[in-house]
C-alpha cells in the first residue's frame, strides 16, 4: 500500500513534467477533450463506411471474404457509439481551450507542413537535397532561429552518415 | 555424439567464421535498431553477398545478423518509443517510461542480459527437442492458428494503454485496414477502390513506423520545452540478485517464445506480445505497475522474442518449413548452396544442424559483449535535444519505409499513419492495438475461413471442433482463462489487485 502511494506521487510528478503517465489503471478523465465527440463520430463513420463497402464483397457463406470486414466494421461502430456516449456524459470542455489550439499547436502545424512539403519535393529533388532542407528548416525552426550554423552542420553530418551507412554499406536504395 | 561435438566445434576453430558471426551481430544490432530496416531485410541483403561464399561462412554471417537484429529492434523502442521491429512493440510499452525516468542504461542492460539467456534457452531446446516440437507443431490446424490469433487479439486489453473500449476501437480499425488489398484465398479485391497501390494491401511495418515513429515525433513537438531526461549510466549490468529475481519469468517467457517461434507462420512478434500479456497477468508484485516502467514488462517480451529465434529454426531444419520470415530466407540460402532442408537434412548433413546451433551460441555470446558495450552510446542518444534528434528520426523513418519495397507511396502511407496516430493519441486511443490488428487481421481472417471451409461452411461442426480436438480444446480453454483472468473477481482472488 505504501509502495502504491509512493508510486502515485512519483507518477504525479512525472505527469507534471509532461513525461510519464500512469497507464496501469484506467482512470477516466472528468472533462471532455476538445473534439472528443467529433473523434468518436469520425471512427463511427469509418466503421459505417467499412460496412457499406463490405456489402459489395462476396457474401452468403460463413467463409466469405466479407465476414471479417463486416465483423470489424460492426465492432468499430459499436465501440464508437459507446465512446461517444461516454464522452457525452463527461463535463464540458474548458472554454479557454480551443479545438485548433488543442489539436494543432504551432510547432505541430509547422512540422506537418514541412512533412507534406518534404513528401512532394522528395520525388523531384531526391533524397539528399530534400532531406537536408527538411532537417535544416526543422532544426532552425524548432530552435527558434538560434544556432543556424550548428543546424547546418549537424544536418550535413547526419545526412552524410546516413547516406554512407545505408547507401554504401547496407546497399539500401534511397528515395 | 562425439561426431556431433566435432561438428559443433567447427565455428569455434575457424577465425573466419568467428569474425563473420561478430560482424553479423554488430551489423544486426544497428540495422535492427532502425524502424523499417528489419532483420528480414538485413538477412535477405546479406544472402545476395554470400552466393559465392562457402556455406559455412554464409551461415555464420546470417546467424549473427539474425541474433543481433532481433535484439536491435528493442533499443529504439526503449529509447524513443519507436520499435525497430514489431517484436519490440511490447518492450517499448515499459522501456520508454524507464528511459523517461533516466533508467535507459539499466533497462537496456537488463534487456541484453535476459536476451542472451533466452537465446541460449532457444538453442538448447533446438538441439535437444527439435524433432519432437517440429512434429507437434505440424499438428496445428487452421482452427488452432485462428485460436492463436484470437489469443493475440485479446492482448489489446494489455497494450491498450488505458481505456479498454478505445483500445478495442483502435484494434478493430487495425483489423479493418488489414483487409485492404487482394484476398489471398479468392483473389477478390477488398477496399481497393480501383487503386492499384492498394491492391498489395497495407504493410504493417509501414503503419508501425508511422503510428509509432512519426506520431511520437509530432507528440514530442507538441510538448516542446520538456528537457530530455539525464540518463543514469552508473550501473548497466544487472547484478546476480536482479538476474535471479527475473529468472523464473525469463524461463517461462523463453519457453513460450521457443514454442511460438516453432509454429510455422508465427514469430517473435506474436511471442513477445503473448509473453508480455502473460507477465502482466501473472506477476504479482512488479517493480512498478505495468505501463509505467515495470522491468518485468521488458524481461518477458525480450526473452520470448529471443527464444523464438531457436524456435524458428526447429521446423526449418527438421521439416523444411520456415518458422518465420528470416528462416524462410535461410531456406532459400540453403537451396542456393545445394542443400534440401527437410526431414532428410539432419540425417544426410548432420554437421549443418550442429554448425547452426554453434553459430547461434557464438552469436549469443557476441550479443552479450557488443550489446553491453553499445549501451552507453545508445543511451546518450536520448539526451540529444529533441529539436535535433526528431528531424533525424523522421528521416530514418523515411529511409526505413522506402526500403521495404522502394516505393514513395509507402512514405505517404507512413506519414498518413503518423498523422492518424497523433490524433488517436490525443484522444487516448493507443496505437499499439492498431498495429496488433494489422498484424493479426490477416492471420485471423485466413485461418478462420480455412477452418470454416474445413467444416464445410457449417457452423455446428466448426464450433464442435473447438472441443473435440485436443489442441483446439487446450487453446479454447486458454482463451477462456485469459478472459476470466481479466475480471476483477479473479484478480482479487489471486491477490493481483
**CA neighbor of B366 nearest in space, from B66, B76, B89:** B66
- Closest among B120, B123, B28 to B74, alpha carbons compared: B28
d(Cα A96, Cα B45) in Å, to the nearest integer?
A: 55
What pLDDT was estimated at residue A137? 93
C-alpha cell at B180: 485492404
Looking at the predicted structure, is the pLDDT value of residue B407 above 80? Answer: yes
The answer to which of A15-19, B35-39, B364-368, B469-473 has the lowest mean pLDDT is A15-19
Residue of chain B minimizing CA distance to A143: B387
Of A49-63, A75-89, B236-250, give the lowest mean pLDDT range.
B236-250
Contact B212, B82 (CB under 8 A): yes
Contact A158 B172 (CB under 8 A): no
The pLDDT of B99-115, averaged and rounded, is 88
% of chain B exceeding 70 in pLDDT: 90
Residue B323 is given by DSSP the state S
For residue B37, pLDDT over 60 is answered with yes
Query: Is B265 a residue whose pLDDT tops 80?
Result: no
- Contacts from A54-61 at CB under 8 Å and sequence distance 24+? A54/B190, A57/B188, A57/B190, A58/B186, A58/B188, A61/B452, A61/B457
pLDDT at residue B38, as a whole number: 67
pLDDT bracket for residue B233 (50, 70, 90) = low
Q: Residues B90-106: what's their mean pLDDT?
A: 86
Alpha-carbon distances of A127 from A71, A111, B207, B326, rounded to whole Å:
42, 18, 21, 29
Let me know: does B266 contact B322? Beta carbons within 8 Å. no
Q: What are the φ/ψ torsions at residue A49 (nearest 5 degrees)? A: -65, -40
**In chain A, what percentage of residues exceed pLDDT 70?**
82
Q: In A, which residues are within 8 Å of B397 by CB distance?
A: none
Return d(Cα B12, Cα B359) in angstroms, integer.
Answer: 9
Q: From CA B271, how far away is CA B253, in angstroms rounded?
A: 8
Predicted confidence at residue A17, as pLDDT, reads 38
Cell 494503454: give the residue: B161
Question: From the CA of A8, how many Å to the nearest CA of chain B?
Answer: 10
For residue A24, give how far its alpha carbon lies from the nearest alpha carbon of chain B (Å). 5
Identify which has the larger pLDDT, B481 or B454. B454
Query: Which residue of A68, A82, A158 is the best one to mutate when testing the B interface, meaning the one whose CB has the most B CBs within 10 A?
Result: A68
Q: Which candidate from A29, A62, A162 shows the least CB-CB separation from B399?
A: A162
Residues of B in contact with A72 (CB under 8 A): 172-173, 175-176, 179, 437, 441
What pLDDT is attached to residue B164? 80
For B390, the grid coordinates are 526528431
Least confident of B35-44, B408-417, B464-473: B35-44
What is the rounded distance in angstroms from the CA atom of residue B480 to the CA atom of residue B316?
32
- Residue A31's SS3 state is strand
Q: pLDDT at position A131, please? A: 92
* φ, ψ of residue B490 in degrees (nearest 5): -65, -45
Instruction: Classify B352 as helix, strand or coil.
Output: helix
Q: What is the dihedral of CA B475, B481, B482, B485, to 10 degrees?
A: -170
Confidence (pLDDT) at A1: 37
Higher-confidence residue of A114 and B390: namely A114
Give me the residue from A24, A63, A108 closest to B449, CB to CB: A63
The pLDDT value recorded for residue A13 is 36
B460 touches chain A (CB under 8 A): no
CB B455 within 8 A of CB B146: no
Q: How many CA atoms lie within 13 A of B245 on its CB side?
A: 14
Average pLDDT value for chain B: 83
> What was the pLDDT predicted at A9?
34
Question: Would you call A158 and B448 a contact, using CB atoms and an 8 Å cutoff?
Answer: no
Residue B453 contacts A where some CB pair is shorter than 8 Å: yes
pLDDT in tens, B269-303: 888 888 988 888 788 788 888 888 889 999 999 99
| Interatomic CA distance for residues B39 and B458, integer angstroms | 41
C-alpha cell, B131: 524433432
Within 10 angstroms of residue B338's Cβ, the number of other Cβ atoms is 7
Among chain A residues, the shortest Cα distance to B34 is held by A166
* 3-state class (DSSP) for residue B232: coil
Helices and strands, counts by H and E, chain B: 25, 2
In whole angstroms, give the CA distance from residue B123 to residue B119. Answer: 6
Q: For residue A3, what pLDDT band results from cuts at 50, 70 and 90?
A: very low
> Burial letters for B457-466: b for 16+ Cβ neighbours within 10 Å, e otherwise?
eeeeebeebb
Q: Is residue B190 less than 8 Å (CB to CB) from chain A?
A: yes
Q: Where are the beta strands (DSSP E) in B139-194?
A: 181-182, 189-190
Place of cell 530552435: A143
What Cα–Cα distance (Å) separates residue A79 from each residue in A44, A76, B348, B422, B479? Answer: 8, 5, 56, 20, 22
Pick the most confident of A13-17, B237-241, B459-463. Answer: B459-463
Record: contact A65-B289, CB cut-off 8 A: no
Q: Domain locations in chain A?
A: 2-96, 104-169
Contact B171, B439 (CB under 8 A): no
Q: Which of B31, B173, B411 is the mutation pick for testing A, counting most A CBs within 10 A?
A: B173
Mean pLDDT of A18-30: 53
Q: Which of A14, A72, A117, A120 to mutate to test the interface with B (most CBs of B within 10 A)?
A: A72
Q: Of A57, A111, A118, which has the smallest distance from its Cβ to B221's Cβ?
A: A111
Q: Which residues of B touch A158 (CB under 8 A)?
A: 392, 395
Is A72's CB within 8 Å of B390's CB? no
Read off the pLDDT of each residue in B70-74 and give the average, rounded to a whole number.
84
Q: According to the model, what pLDDT value does residue A22 have?
A: 47
Amino acid at each position: 500500500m505504501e509502495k502504491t502511494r509512493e508510486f502515485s506521487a512519483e507518477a504525479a510528478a512525472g505527469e507534471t513534467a509532461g513525461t510519464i503517465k500512469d497507464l496501469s489503471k484506467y482512470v477516466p478523465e472528468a472533462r471532455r477533450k476538445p473534439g472528443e465527440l467529433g473523434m468518436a463520430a469520425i471512427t463511427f463513420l469509418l466503421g459505417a463506411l467499412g460496412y457499406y463497402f463490405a456489402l459489395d464483397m462476396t457474401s452468403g457463406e460463413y467463409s466469405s471474404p466479407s465476414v471479417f470486414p463486416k465483423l470489424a466494421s460492426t465492432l468499430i461502430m459499436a465501440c464508437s457509439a459507446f465512446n461517444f456516449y461516454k464522452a457525452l456524459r463527461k463535463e464540458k470542455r474548458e472554454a479557454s481551450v480551443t479545438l485548433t489550439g488543442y489539436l494543432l499547436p504551432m510547432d505541430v502545424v509547422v512540422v506537418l507542413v514541412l512533412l507534406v512539403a518534404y513528401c512532394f519535393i522528395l520525388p523531384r529533388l531526391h533524397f539528399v537535397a530534400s532531406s537536408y532542407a527538411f532537417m535544416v528548416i526543422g532544426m532552425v525552426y524548432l530552435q527558434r532561429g538560434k544556432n543556424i550554423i550548428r543546424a547546418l552542420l549537424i544536418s550535413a553530418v547526419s545526412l552524410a552518415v546516413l547516406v554512407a551507412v545505408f547507401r554504401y554499406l547496407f546497399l539500401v536504395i534511397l528515395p | 555424439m562425439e561426431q556431433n561435438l566435432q561438428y559443433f566445434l567447427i565455428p569455434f576453430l575457424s577465425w573466419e567464421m568467428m569474425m563473420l558471426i561478430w560482424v553479423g551481430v554488430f551489423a544486426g544490432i544497428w540495422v535492427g535498431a532502425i524502424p523499417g530496416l528489419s532483420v528480414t531485410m538485413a538477412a535477405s541483403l546479406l544472402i545476395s553477398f554470400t552466393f559465392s561464399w562457402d556455406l559455412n561462412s554464409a551461415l555464420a554471417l546470417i546467424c549473427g545478423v539474425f541474433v543481433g537484429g532481433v535484439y536491435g529492434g528493442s533499443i529504439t523502442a526503449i529509447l524513443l518509443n519507436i520499435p525497430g521491429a514489431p517484436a519490440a512493440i511490447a518492450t517499448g510499452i515499459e522501456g520508454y517510461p524507464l528511459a523517461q525516468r533516466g533508467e535507459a542504461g539499466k533497462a537496456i542492460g537488463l534487456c541484453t542480459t535476459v536476451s542472451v539467456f533466452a537465446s541460449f534457452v532457444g538453442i538448447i531446446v533446438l538441439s535437444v527437442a527439435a524433432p519432437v516440437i517440429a512434429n507437434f507443431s505440424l499438428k496445428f490446424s487452421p482452427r488452432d492458428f485462428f485460436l492463436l490469433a484470437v489469443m493475440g487479439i485479446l492482448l489489446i486489453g494489455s497494450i491498450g494503454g488505458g481505456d479498454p473500449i478505445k483500445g478495442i476501437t483502435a484494434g478493430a480499425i487495425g483489423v479493418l485496414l488489414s483487409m485492404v488489398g487482394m484476398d489471398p484465398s479468392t483473389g477478390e479485391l477488398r477496399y481497393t477502390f480501383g487503386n492499384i497501390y492498394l491492391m498489395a494491401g497495407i504493410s504493417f511495418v509501414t503503419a508501425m513506423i508511422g503510428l509509432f515513429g512519426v506520431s511520437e515525433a509530432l507528440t514530442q513537438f507538441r510538448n516542446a520545452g520538456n528537457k530530455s531526461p539525464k540518463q543514469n549510466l552508473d550501473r548497466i549490468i544487472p547484478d546476480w540478485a536482479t538476474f535471479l529475481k527475473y529468472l523464473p519469468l525469463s524461463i517461462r517467457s523463453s519457453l513460450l517464445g521457443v514454442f511460438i517461434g516453432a509454429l510455422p507462420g508465427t514469430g517473435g512478434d506474436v511471442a513477445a506480445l503473448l509473453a508480455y500479456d502473460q507477465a502482466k497477468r501473472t506477476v504479482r508484485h512488479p517493480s512498478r505497475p505495468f505501463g509505467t516502467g515495470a522491468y518485468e514488462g521488458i524481461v518477458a517480451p525480450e526473452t520470448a522474442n529471443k527464444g523464438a529465434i531457436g524456435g524458428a529454426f526447429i521446423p526449418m531444419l527438421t521439416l523444411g518449413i520456415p518458422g518465420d520470415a528470416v528462416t524462410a530466407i535461410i531456406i532459400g540460402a540453403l537451396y542456393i548452396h545445394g542443400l534440401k532442408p527437410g526431414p532428410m537434412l539432419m540425417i544426410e548433413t548432420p554437421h549443418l544442424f550442429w554448425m547452426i546451433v554453434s553459430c547461434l551460441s557464438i552469436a549469443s555470446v557476441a550479443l552479450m559483449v557488443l550489446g553491453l558495450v553499445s549501451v552507453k552510446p545508445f543511451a546518450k542518444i536520448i539526451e540529444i535535444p529533441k529539436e535535433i534528434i526528431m528531424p533525424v528520426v523522421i528521416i530514418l523513418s523515411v529511409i526505413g519505409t522506402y526500403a521495404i519495397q522502394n516505393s514513395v507511396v509507402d512514405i505517404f502511407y507512413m506519414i498518413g499513419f503518423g498523422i492518424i496516430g497523433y490524433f488517436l493519441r490525443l484522444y487516448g486511443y493507443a496505437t499499439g492495438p492498431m498495429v496488433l490488428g494489422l498484424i493479426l487481421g490477416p492471420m485471423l481472417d485466413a485461418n478462420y475461413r480455412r477452418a470454416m471451409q474445413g467444416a464445410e461452411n457449417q457452423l455446428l461442426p466448426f464450433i464442435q471442433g473447438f472441443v473435440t480436438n485436443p489442441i483446439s480444446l487446450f487453446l479454447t480453454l486458454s482463451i477462456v482463462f485469459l478472459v476470466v483472468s481479466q475480471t476483477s473477481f479473479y484478480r482479487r482472488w489471486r491477490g493481483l489487485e
